Amino acid sequence: MSVEKLQITLSEFKKAKPDVDHLEFGTQFTDHMFVMDYSSETGWHDARIVPYQPITLDPACMVFHYGQTVFEGLKAYLTADGEVLLFRPEKNMARLNQSNERLCIPPVNEEFVIYALKRLIQIDREWIPAKEEMSLYIRPFVISTEPYLGVAPSKHFKLIIIMSPVGSYYKSGVNPVKILVENDYVRAVAGGTGTAKTGGNYAASLKAQEVAAAKGYSQVLWLDGIEKNYIEEVGSMNIFFIIDGEAVTPALNGSILEGVTRNSVIQLLKHWDIPVSERRISIKEIFELHEEGKVTEAFGTGTAAVISPVGELNWKDKTIVLNGGKTGEISQKLYTTITGIQKGSLPDVLEWTQKADEGLLVK
Amino acid sequence: MSVEKLQITLSEFKKAKPDVDHLEFGTQFTDHMFVMDYSSETGWHDARIVPYQPITLDPACMVFHYGQTVFEGLKAYLTADGEVLLFRPEKNMARLNQSNERLCIPPVNEEFVIYALKRLIQIDREWIPAKEEMSLYIRPFVISTEPYLGVAPSKHFKLIIIMSPVGSYYKSGVNPVKILVENDYVRAVAGGTGTAKTGGNYAASLKAQEVAAAKGYSQVLWLDGIEKNYIEEVGSMNIFFIIDGEAVTPALNGSILEGVTRNSVIQLLKHWDIPVSERRISIKEIFELHEEGKVTEAFGTGTAAVISPVGELNWKDKTIVLNGGKTGEISQKLYTTITGIQKGSLPDVLEWTQKADEGLLVK
Ligand SMILES: Cc1ncc(COP(=O)(O)O)c(C=O)c1O
Ligand SMILES: Cc1ncc(COP(=O)(O)O)c(C=O)c1O
């Protein structure tokens, strides 16, 4: 699909912008959205930017019944110079197509969707909060829209992008979280959908999150579904441990999501000459190594929090406290560096950011 | 919620009924639908029967992102006397609430929903095809409707019931199917959502179905996700084997769906003094016992086909043919008996059916 094919209908009025000091994640949305339709006869077509508006669907549409959906999550940042930066959007688009492949959803033209996204950001640019650590959260998602109750891949889809201004994740500096290791519920196994960003994985996780929250833990650490022994990932983050000076993170084993932040952290650590090992890690090993004083830090990585230090880990009623419950040195340095690159205040040493108005026909 | 609380708005016009000789499953829907809303403040409320119509939702609604949905499937049948029968609807409503529990969806009042369903059927009664082996397929489903991108249980839901006339599953008598044993993809593991009727399970199954179809198999047989050795269930059916005169079916192990038909088949077999064993069965065992001539029949059980004899089973490029690829005696007897009870042409020995106008205030 060529870029000329993007139809734009501007909203006749603009919504009031939210108070940036009281932003709540994912509740307020910008004035416009991007929509593109797919049908098996014509492929992806009718790409358009339109006023943010409800979707009207037949109650038989497959998305309501068989969960054939995928989504992505990334952010746009406003620099001190008034430039808008996107952080590795090509990674998110590549992952969108990987998720599509697993869910029998036809691939999208990644470059075109990035182009459309940049155009959307340009139009709703005023919605990007200027303040430190704030950003515009971007949510591309695909839903299956054929009104048919047979269990089969849909012949119709919609790709939609909506955007929501988000405040800083940490109210008063980076703050370690308490995490509960999950022993009953399972998020995914190899051969399942764990490597895809699809609704069912998140639906499956709600129950365990509820139990963890009731016990005072903010997140769940998933173990493998087979032996309930190997560490997989946290709610919506990948996880790293600093063991004896080496950064260790679970290998991409076919059931965990490959985070863009995970990849960035690995690259950055290597750039700093800190050894990184992607391998199997058992929860038992972590508890034993901790006893020996070898686990000096642990942190989650994800688009929302960027780096989320783990202060406490509870497994089968045993608790370990990491780095005295405080943010570790490496966690802090990663956080400062990545958010600095995202905000354009630190040099983009690994060439991760793209200017949101780069490649646009209309400036 | 009391029955008086059911608001009814009749459609101003009636759609043309489809040609019953060319019914396609799940594509045409009756004139009305049932809708009920949930909010965390007021609970389930605003129960109503309205003209069949599209749903309008904010694009941020959780159902589009996190797969927090459940559904059910059951049928209404027209007897030769013009009576409408429901087959064990209380079982489907109980399972709906079990699925709800796993997916963090608030429970519904099962009796009230059955009442509302009966009222809906009464209104759209003309849509039930009269012909032998035809029926009205009923699809209750719950979707999460809060417009919020946080990963958390939704505070708003909709329960909707839509109905679709369906033709006979078998065009010319009960027909055995060819089934491919799946070795790569996994449907569910204990601790996951396999026991719930939720969209994500079906989304996860699409890829394997696609591969199987390309190889000429109509369905996939799922093995356990851990050892890829134990038999779980078929696409949308449970499975039984007749081994040495005994009916064997996988035990409810925490990852398979408890089918209403499975339960009915077990009861009926016991009623006929055929021994039934619910246990672990490995695929290896089936292939070995088949070699010894001990596996005389295999069949799937589910609402759609009722009984679906397995003619051929392929596992790792080895094929076994069951009962010469023909419908076995027990399969046929189960099919005839259950469909006879459903249609009211055979005595309802186990008291499974409910008259659809029973308990209604308006006759
Ligand atoms: C299950 C899961 N794991 C990991 C991540 C981290 O991925 P990323 O760094 O791309 O945000 C996310 C969030 O996107 C997630 O949902
Ligand atoms: C995964 C799965 N297993 C088994 C069944 C059979 O259940 P029932 O007999 O209640 O239709 C179904 C269909 O409903 C199903 O979707």
CATH number of the domain at A123, please: 3.30.470.10
Closest residue of chain A to B225, computed from CA coordinates: A189
Cβ-Cβ contacts under 8 Å for B204 (sequence gap 6 or more): A192, A193, A200, B185, B186, B187, B188
Q: What is the rounded distance in angstroms from the CA atom of residue B52 to the CA atom of residue B206?
A: 28
CA-nearest of B298, B198, B181, B304 to B255 is B198
B182 and B317 in a single domain? The answer is yes
A159 and A193 in a single domain? The answer is no
Domain annotation covers residue B350: no
Percent of chain B with pLDDT strictly greater than 90: 92
Cα dist from A308 to A167, A169, A212, A219, whole Å: 16, 10, 17, 11
Distance from CA of B328 to the nearest CA of A (A): 27
Q: Please name the residue whose Cα sits nearest to atom 12 of ligand 1.
A: A236
CA of residue A238 to ligand 1 center, whole Å: 6
Amino acid at A140: P
- Contact criterion met (CB < 8 Å) for B164 and A149: yes
Are the CB atoms for A52 and A32 separated by under 8 Å?
yes
pLDDT value of position B172: 73
Q: Domain range spanning residue B212?
A: 177-343
Domain annotation covers residue A354: no
Domain annotation covers residue B355: no
A134 and A182 in a single domain? The answer is no
β-pairing, B353-355 with B156-166?
A: unpaired
ipTM over 0.85: yes
**DSSP code of residue B143:** E
CA of residue A43 to ligand 1 center, whole Å: 29
Q: Which of B56, B65, B141 sits opposite A56 (nearest CB)?
A: B56
Q: Which of B53, B162, B199 sits opposite A200 (nearest CB)?
A: B199
Place of tokens 């780096």: A307
pLDDT value of position B185: 96
**DSSP code of residue B18:** P
Query: Which mutation among A70, A186, A202, A257 tests ligand 1's pocket best, with the greatest number of atoms within 8 A of CB?
Result: A257
Of A168, A191, A222, the position where a domain reaches its end is: A168
Res B4 pLDDT > 70: no
Contacts of A147 in chain B (CB under 8 A): 27
Q: Is residue B236 within 6 Å of ligand 2 at its C-beta?
A: yes
Ligand 2 nearest atom to the CA of residue B263, by list position:
9
- Ligand number with the minimum distance to the CA of B260: 2
CA angle at residue B237 from B234 to B243, to 5 degrees? 75
> To probe the interface with B, which of A35, A36, A65, A137 has the most B CB atoms within 10 Å?
A65
**CATH value at residue A246:** 3.20.10.10
CA-nearest of A125, A85, A116 to A7 is A116
- Contact criterion met (CB < 8 Å) for A186 and B202: no
Q: Is residue B237 within 6 Å of ligand 2 at its C-beta?
A: yes
B120 and B187 in a single domain? The answer is no
Domain annotation covers residue B255: yes
Q: Is residue A233 within 6 Å of ligand 1 at its C-beta?
A: yes
CA-nearest of A103, A204, A95, A105 to B202 is A103
Domain annotation covers residue B358: no
B209 and B112 in a single domain? The answer is no
- Contact criterion met (CB < 8 Å) for B143 and A64: yes
B155 and B185 in a single domain? The answer is no
Q: Which of B66, B149, B202 sits opposite A151 (nearest CB)?
A: B202
CA of residue B262 to ligand 2 center, whole Å: 8
Side-chain-side CA neighbours of A237 within 13 Å: the count stands at: 23
Percent helix, percent strand, percent coil in chain B, to nearest 5 = 25, 30, 40
pLDDT value of position B39: 97
Q: How many residues does chain B have?
A: 363
Domain annotation covers residue B348: no
Domain annotation covers residue A260: yes
Are the CB atoms for A129 and A160 separated by under 8 Å?
no
Contacts of B225 in chain A (CB under 8 A): 189, 191-192, 225-226
pLDDT value of position A156: 98
Ligand 2 nearest atom to the CA of residue B74, by list position:
11
Residue range B248-282, pLDDT digits in tens: 999 999 999 999 999 999 999 999 999 999 999 99
Of B126, B144, B168, the position where a domain reaches its end is: B168
- Contact criterion met (CB < 8 Å) for A206 and B59: no
Ligand 2 nearest atom to the CA of residue B262, by list position:
9
Partners of residue A35 on adjacent β-strands? A48, A160
Q: What is the rounded distance in angstroms from the CA atom of residue A239 to the CA atom of residue A302?
A: 9
For residue B50, give the 3-state DSSP assignment: strand
Contacts of B63 in chain A (CB under 8 A): 63-64, 199
Distance from CA of A130 to the nearest CA of B (A): 22
| Residue B274 structure tokens | 């055929």
Of A141, A168, A195, the position where a domain reaches its end is: A168
B75 and B103 in a single domain? The answer is yes
Residue range B88-142, pLDDT digits in tens: 999 999 999 999 999 999 999 999 999 999 999 999 999 999 888 899 999 999 9
B132 and B245 in a single domain? The answer is no
Q: What is the rounded distance in angstroms from the CA atom of residue A278 to the CA atom of residue A287?
A: 18
Other residues' Cβ atoms within 10 Å of the Cβ of residue B112: 18
Res B181 pLDDT > 70: yes
Number of domains chain A contains: 2
Q: H/E/C letters for each residue in chain A?
A: CCHHHCEECCCCCCCCCCCHHHCCCCCCCCCEEEEEEEECCCEEEEEEEEECCCEEECCCEHHHCCCCEEECCEEEEECCCCCEEEECHHHHHHHHHHHHHHCCCCCCCHHHHHHHHHHHHHHCHHHCCCCCCCEEEEEEEEEECCECCCCCCCCEEEEEEEEEEECCCCECECCCEEEEECCCCCCCCCCCCCCCCCHHHHHHHHHHHHHHHHCCCCEEEEECCCCCCEEEEECCEEEEEEECCEEEEECCCCCCCCCHHHHHHHHHHHHCCCCEEEECCEHHHHHHHHHCCCEEEEEEEECCCEEEEEEEEEECCEEEECHHHCCCHHHHHHHHHHHHHHHCCCCCCCCCEEECCCCCCCC
* pLDDT-derived band at B196, boundaries 50, 70, 90: very high
Other residues' Cβ atoms within 10 Å of the Cβ of residue A43: 12
B60 and B97 in a single domain? The answer is yes
Distance from CA of A272 to the nearest CA of B (A): 34
Alpha helix (H) ranges present in B215-347?
Answer: 260-271, 283-291, 329-343
B112 and B186 in a single domain? The answer is no
Mean pLDDT by 10 residues, chain A (363 residues): 80 93 93 98 97 98 98 97 97 98 98 97 96 93 98 97 91 88 95 97 97 94 95 96 98 97 98 98 98 98 96 96 96 97 96 93 67
| Residue B195 structure tokens | 């026991």
Q: What is the rounded distance in angstroms from the CA atom of residue A105 to the CA atom of residue A28?
A: 28
Other residues' Cβ atoms within 10 Å of the Cβ of residue B224: 25
A130 and A217 in a single domain? The answer is no
CA of residue A252 to ligand 1 center, whole Å: 13
Q: How many residues does chain A have?
A: 363
Domain annotation covers residue B351: no
Amino acid at A241: F
Q: What is the rounded distance in angstroms from the CA atom of residue B29 to the CA atom of residue B252?
A: 34
B120 and B234 in a single domain? The answer is no
